[in-house]
A = this chain, B = another copy of it.
Amino acid sequence: MIDDEVLAGHQQELRRGTVVMAALATLETPGYGYGLLAVLEKSGLSVDANTLYPLLRRLEKQGLLAAEWDTTESRPRKMYKTSDAGRNLLGTLEAEWNHLATSLNALRSEESNPHLKELP
């Protein structure tokens, strides 16, 4: 009944931002892009590789992640880890997340009891 493309679009809009939280949280223990991709996939957060790689570069440029090339092994990997600023932002975003959850819940219950709108 619902157009699949419309549904997918809105679901994706909802996911936006959460990937940043997931990355910042996961990379408190250092890791690299491709590996992170697998971890997120396993955790039920499906992220496209073409989305994650640019995201990591952006977070690095913003100073939220620290990055350096690991060339100790033959296959070079770009290792990322969450910086102090990143940890800081993660906290803020989690607070915002909880705030949003609270607000949505409030609207939801107000909806099932519309008469509450009349109260002071």
The interface of chain A, by Cβ under 8 A from chain B, is: 1-3, 6-7, 10-11, 13-18, 20-22, 25-26, 28-29, 39-40, 43-45, 62-64, 84-85, 88-89, 92-93, 96-97, 99-104, 106-108, 110-111, 114
Interface of A is mostly: helix
Minimum-distance CB pairs A-B, first 3:
A14-B17, A13-B17, A44-B103
Q: By the criterion CB–CB under 8 Å, are A13 and B20 in contact?
A: yes
Chain B residues with CB under 8 Å of A20's CB are: 10, 13-14
Chain B residues with CB below 8 A from A110, complex form: 26, 43
Whether the Cβ atoms of B10 and A114 lie closer than 8 Å is no
Given contacts A13-B20, A45-B100, 17 further A-B contacts (CB under 8 A): A1-B84, A2-B88, A2-B92, A6-B62, A7-B89, A10-B17, A14-B96, A14-B100, A21-B104, A26-B107, A26-B111, A43-B103, A43-B107, A44-B102, A44-B106, A45-B103, A97-B104
